[in-house]
A and B are shown apart, each in its own frame.
Chain A
Amino acid sequence: MNSQAFAFEDYGAGRTKAATDIDETRQYVTFMLGEQHYCVDIKLVREIRAGNVITPLPSAPDFVRGVINLRGTIVPIIDLRARFGQGRTEATQNHVVVIVAIGGRLNGLLVDGVSDILAVRASEVAPVPETDGDSQDPFFDGLITQGDSMMILIAIERLLQNAPIREARQPLA
C-alpha cells in the first residue's frame, strides 16, 4: 500500500458550539475542487489520505464512490464534485481523501487536493447570499474571503445528513 497519511492532532470528534457572539479564531482545512476553494472545520477532520484503493459499492448513488480501508474500519468515500452536481471526479494519484468524523461516523471526502490550513475569525465568515438560481443551499455554511479568493465553508453535517447512503441504497423501497 503506498498511501500516505497525514494525521492531524486529534481535536476530538463532534462539532463544538458555534461561537458567533465571541469573535473566536477558528481553523479550517481548505481544498480545491476544480478552480474553487472549499473548506471544512478542522475539528471534524481526522486525517488526509492519498493513494487510496477505493472499492465500489453496488447500487450506490453516483456520489458514493465506494469504500476504503482506514486501518481496519470501512469508510465510505463521497465524491464531493458529484455531490455538488458537477460531474464525477476522475480520481488520480494526486487526489486526496479528507476523512471527517461526524457523530462517531467516519466519512471520506474525495477532493482534488488540499491546499492550506486557515485561521479565520468568526466575524470573517459571511453568510451565503441567497441567489436566484439555487434556493437555500443546505450544503454551505458561509463564505470566507481571503484577498482575491473566496472559500466556501461546507456544512459537513448537513451534507452527510442529506446524503444518507442508507436510504439511497434501499433498492425497492
Chain B
Amino acid sequence: MDQFEQFKHTFFQECDDLLSAFEAQLSALLEDPSEPELLNAAFRTIHSIKGGAGAFGFARLIAFTHTFETVLDHLRAGRISVSKNLIDVCLRAGDTVADLVHAARMGTELELHYEQQAAEQLAIIAGIDVAAPVPGLRAGSKQRSGDADGRADSIRHQYNITFRPHRELLRRANEPLLVVRNLRELGSLTVTADLSNLPAFADLVPTDAYLSWTFELQTSAGIAAVKEIFEFLEGSCDLSIAVVDGGSGTGAPIAELVNEAPDPIGLPSATPMDLTVTSNDTARATDQQPAPLHAAPIARISTIRVDLDRVDRLVNLVGEIAIAQAMVVQQIDQGLTQSNPRLFQDLQQLLQHTRNLQDSVMAIRAQPVRSIFARMPRVIRDLALQTGKKIALETSGESTEIDKTIIEELMDPLVHVIRNSVDHGIETAEERLAKGKPVHGTIRMSAAQFGSRIVIEVSDDGRGIDRDKVRQAAVRKGLIAGAAPLTNEEADNLILLPGLSTADSVSDISGRGVGMDVVNSNLKKLGGRVIVRSEPGRGTTTTLTLPLTLAVLDGMIVRSGLDNYVLPLGCIVECLAVSRQQVKTIPGRGEVLNVRGTHVRIVHLARVFKIASAAPASQLLVILVEVEGGTNIGLVVDEIVGQQQVVIKSVRENVGQIAGIAGATILGDGAVALILDSTAISELAAAREDRLNASTLDINLRKLVA
C-alpha cells in the first residue's frame, strides 16, 4: 500500500472516532447549550472531516460537510441558537456524513441526491442558501459544466490570482494541484504556469516547490469562497487575489475553457494518475468517484482495536516463554545435544521462532514518533497565527520508535513545550530583525534512541530564558531561598517547578492552560525527565528523555554484593580493571579516576545502594558508563557476569518508582534482576555526596533533580 493509501486509511479511522464522539457532543449540547467547548468540539469534528475529505478529493463529502460546518459556525457565532429541532437535524446530518464517509471508504457512490434532503434541512435551519456557491457543492451532480451553465445568469466575477508557493510548501503536505482543481470547481479557469524558477534537472530538489501559477477565474462565487481554497496554504505562499469585476466570461462554455486550461505541467509531487486526470475528461469523471482505481477490496486495511492490557499480557507471556526456553536449553545443553544432533537443530529452530515471536509482539506496541511529530506543523501554524510571529519547524528522527502508551502521553507535553517556545522563546519579527536574526524563528524537533532511553529535543532560536526574572519569581513564590547559589543550568530548570508558571514570570503573554511543571510531572509519570538548557539571546533547548519500557534490551549482567544487576549495553563505554591506588580522592568531592587524561567520577554501586560489597581489596572493576548530558562516570561493581538480551519489565505497576532503577528483568534462572539507570545512579551518588557535604541548595531544587 502506498503512503497516500495509508493516509487515507488513517483519515477513515479518524472519521470513525470523530463521528462516534460527535453524537455524544450534540446530545450534551442540547442539555447544556451554554457550554462552548461542546460546540467547538462538534465544529472541529466536522471541520476535520471536511479538511481530510478535501485532501483526498471526496467531493460530495466536502460539499456536505461544508454546509454542515456553516450551520455550526452560525451556531458558534450565536446567529442561531440551540433547539431540539436543530440538534435533531444535526444528528441526522451526522448520520449522512457517516454514510458519505462509508461510501468514500468503500469506493462506492451513493445515489445521486442522497444527501440533498439533509443538506436542505441544514440550510433551512441556518437560513443560508443551499445553492450558495460553496466549493464542490455541485460536485455531486453529473456534469460540472452543465451545472455551471444552469447558473450562468448569476453575477460573475473575474479574479486574477497569482499564487507563488514558497519552497517548502510541498514539505508541509500541501498540494497545488488541489488548488487548481478546487478553483476549477468554482467556475471557468485559465491557468498559466510560471516555470522560470525551475532549476536544471540535476539541481532539482524533488521536495521543493519551484512553480508558480497565474489563474484567471470567472465565477459567481464570492471572494470568500476563493480565499477559502487557499486557506491552508497561508504562510506557505505569496498570494494575491485581484477582483476584476464585470468579467467578460458570463455564460462562456465552461467545459471548453476547462479543456483549454493548460496543464499545470510538471507539478512536482503529482502522481502519474493525477496528471492524466487534469488533461483527460473521462479520467476526470472517474476522479469524481472516490478512488475507483483502488477498488473496494483494498480500500480497507483490516485493523482491530485491542485493549493494551491484552497486549501487555501477551508481551509478558512471550517473555516468559523466552525465559522458560532458556532454562530448558540450559538443562539440555548438558551433553544431551551431542548425542542427539537432531535435538540441537530443532532447538535452534525453536530459539529462532521465539525470537521472531518476541520481535513481533514488541512491534505491536512500538510506533514511530512520526505520528506525533506530524501533528506539530499544525500546532506551530496556529501558534504563529495567534502570536503573529514567523516560525519554521524542522524535524528529524521521526522514525524513532517508542512504546505506544508513551506516544499517547507525549502529545500534550510536547505541545506545551512548543507553545512555550513560541510564546516565550521566539521573538517577534521586528525584534528578530533588530537583533540581526533571521526573520523566521526556527523550532527544531528531533527524536533519537540513546541507550535504553528515547531522547526528544525541542529547541528554538529565540531569546532564551531570562534567568534573573525566573529566579526572582521563584524567590517571590518561596520556592528557593533568596541566597541559594544556582548554576545557570539549575536556574533554567527552575521553570519546571510547580507553582512557577512561566506565564506570570517571563512574559506578559499568558500561557494557555498549564505550565512546564505539568510537562515535568507528566514525563516523570512515564519514567522520564525534562531538562531545560538555555543560552541567553540564542535560544532554549528542552530535552525530554523517556524510557523504552517494553523494549528488549541488550544488557551486561554485573554483580554487586550478592545480587545481579543489568546495565544497558548502550550506555557502557568500556570496562576497566584498575588498582585501588589509581583512584584518587578529592576531599568533599568524592573519588576520581584518570582515564587517559580525563578525570572520571567514581561511583560505587554498593555504596549507592547501601549493600555490602564483596569486591577484592586490591583491585576495582570500573565500568565507564555514559550518563545524560554526555559525561561519563566510572561505576564500580564486584563482577561482570555476562552479556544477555533481556526483556524489560516495568516495576512501576506493582512496586513503584525506585531511584536508580529503570526496570527489572528475569534472568535465565528465573530470578529477578534490576536494570540500572546510569543517569539516576549518578545523581543519587551526587546527592549522597551533597548530603555528606551538607549542601546549602534548596530542597525544592533537589526534588526536581531526583
Q: Mark A residues whose CB is within 8 Å of B.
A: 1, 53, 55-60, 66-69, 71-76, 105-107, 164-166, 169-173
> 8 nearest interchain CB pairs?
A58-B609, A166-B656, A72-B316, A55-B672, A72-B320, A1-B670, A53-B671, A172-B706
Assembly CA distance A28 to B217 (angstroms) = 84
Q: Are A172 and B317 in contact (CB under 8 A)?
A: no
Q: Are A69 and B608 in contact (CB under 8 A)?
A: no
Query: For residue A76, which residues in chain B have a CB less than 8 angstroms away from its CB?
Result: 654-655
Tell whether A58 pairs with B655 under 8 Å between CB atoms, given A1-B670, A69-B666, A74-B649. no
Q: Which of B563, B658, B670, B673 contacts A169 (CB under 8 A)? A: B658
Q: Which residues in chain B, 290-325, are within 8 Å of chain A measured between CB atoms? A: 316-317, 319-320, 323
Assembly CA distance A48 to B703 (angstroms) = 39
A-B contacts, 26 listed (Cβ < 8 Å): A53-B669, A53-B670, A53-B672, A56-B563, A57-B658, A58-B608, A58-B611, A67-B651, A67-B655, A69-B666, A69-B670, A69-B671, A72-B320, A72-B649, A73-B649, A73-B654, A74-B654, A74-B664, A76-B655, A166-B656, A166-B657, A169-B658, A171-B659, A172-B702, A172-B706, A173-B706
Query: For residue B84, which residues in chain A have a CB less than 8 angstroms away from its CB?
Result: none
Shortest CB-to-CB span from A78 to chain B, Å, is 11
The answer to whether B610 has its CB under 8 Å from any CB of chain A is yes
Can you name the residue of chain A whose Cβ is closest to the Cβ of B690? A172
Q: Are B706 and A171 in contact (CB under 8 A)?
A: yes
The answer to whether B203 has its CB under 8 Å from any CB of chain A is no
Query: For residue B317, which residues in chain A have a CB less than 8 angstroms away from its CB?
Result: 72
Assembly CA distance A128 to B262 (angstroms) = 93
Query: For residue A68, which residues in chain B have a CB less than 8 angstroms away from its CB?
Result: 672
Shortest CB-to-CB span from B351 to chain A, Å, is 19
Q: Are B316 and A58 in contact (CB under 8 A)?
A: no
Query: For residue A172, which residues in chain B have a CB less than 8 angstroms away from its CB?
Result: 687, 699, 702-703, 706
Contact with A along B533-575 (1 / 0, CB 8 A): 0000000000000000000000000000001000000000000
Tell whether A59 pairs with B320 under 8 Å between CB atoms, given A73-B654, A173-B706. no
Q: Are A58 and B670 in contact (CB under 8 A)?
A: no
Query: For residue B563, which residues in chain A have a CB less than 8 angstroms away from its CB?
Result: 55-56
Other contacts beyond A53-B670, A55-B674, A169-B659: 4, CB < 8 A: A73-B649, A74-B649, A74-B654, A165-B656
Query: For residue B609, which residues in chain A have a CB less than 8 angstroms away from its CB?
Result: 58-59
Q: Are A74 and B655 in contact (CB under 8 A)?
A: yes
Q: Which residues in chain B, 620-678, are within 8 Å of chain A measured between CB atoms? A: 649-651, 653-661, 664, 666, 669-674
Assembly CA distance A117 to B664 (angstroms) = 34
Can you name the residue of chain A whose Cβ is closest to the Cβ of B611? A58
Q: Are A170 and B664 in contact (CB under 8 A)?
A: no
Shortest CB-to-CB span from B688 to chain A, Å, is 9
The A-B contact count (CB < 8 A) is: 93
Query: For residue A164, which residues in chain B have a CB less than 8 angstroms away from its CB?
Result: 656
Shortest CB-to-CB span from A101 to chain B, Å, is 10
Q: Mark B residues whose CB is within 8 Å of A.
A: 316-317, 319-320, 323, 327, 563, 608-611, 649-651, 653-661, 664, 666, 669-674, 684, 687, 699, 702-703, 706
Can you name the residue of chain B whose Cβ is closest to the Cβ of A171? B659
Tell whether A74 pairs with B672 under 8 Å between CB atoms, given A169-B656, A172-B706. yes
Q: Which of B327, B656, B673 contacts A55 (CB under 8 A)? A: B673
Tell whether A67 pairs with B660 under 8 Å between CB atoms, given A58-B611, A72-B319, A172-B687. no
Assembly CA distance A67 to B703 (angstroms) = 26
Assembly CA distance A36 to B641 (angstroms) = 43
Q: Which of A1, A58, A107 contacts B654 (CB under 8 A)? A: A107
Q: Which of B323, B327, B610, B702 contacts A58 (CB under 8 A)? A: B610
Can you name the residue of chain A whose Cβ is closest to the Cβ of B561? A56
Can you name the residue of chain A whose Cβ is closest to the Cβ of B673? A55
Assembly CA distance A67 to B655 (angstroms) = 8
Shortest CB-to-CB span from B362 to chain A, Å, is 14
Chain B CB within 10 Å, residue with most, of A53, A66, A72, A166? A72
Assembly CA distance A171 to B658 (angstroms) = 9
Assembly CA distance A59 to B649 (angstroms) = 20
Query: For residue A75, which residues in chain B have a CB less than 8 angstroms away from its CB?
Result: 654
Query: For residue B649, which residues in chain A have a CB less than 8 angstroms away from its CB?
Result: 72-74
Q: Are A106 and B671 in contact (CB under 8 A)?
A: no
Tell whether A57 pairs with B674 under 8 Å between CB atoms, given A72-B317, A74-B654, A172-B706. yes
Assembly CA distance A66 to B674 (angstroms) = 10
Q: Are B660 and A58 in contact (CB under 8 A)?
A: yes
Assembly CA distance A53 to B661 (angstroms) = 19
Q: Are A71 and B320 in contact (CB under 8 A)?
A: yes
Shortest CB-to-CB span from A137 to chain B, Å, is 24
Assembly CA distance A171 to B563 (angstroms) = 21
Can you name the residue of chain B whose Cβ is closest to the Cβ of A57? B658
Assembly CA distance A170 to B661 (angstroms) = 12
Query: For residue A53, which residues in chain B have a CB less than 8 angstroms away from its CB?
Result: 669-672
Assembly CA distance A81 to B687 (angstroms) = 32
Query: For residue A1, which residues in chain B have a CB less than 8 angstroms away from its CB?
Result: 327, 669-670
Assembly CA distance A56 to B672 (angstroms) = 9
Shortest CB-to-CB span from B357 to chain A, Å, is 14
Shortest CB-to-CB span from B521 to chain A, Å, is 14
Shortest CB-to-CB span from A6 to chain B, Å, is 18
Q: Are B684 and A171 in contact (CB under 8 A)?
A: yes
Q: Are A59 and B655 in contact (CB under 8 A)?
A: no
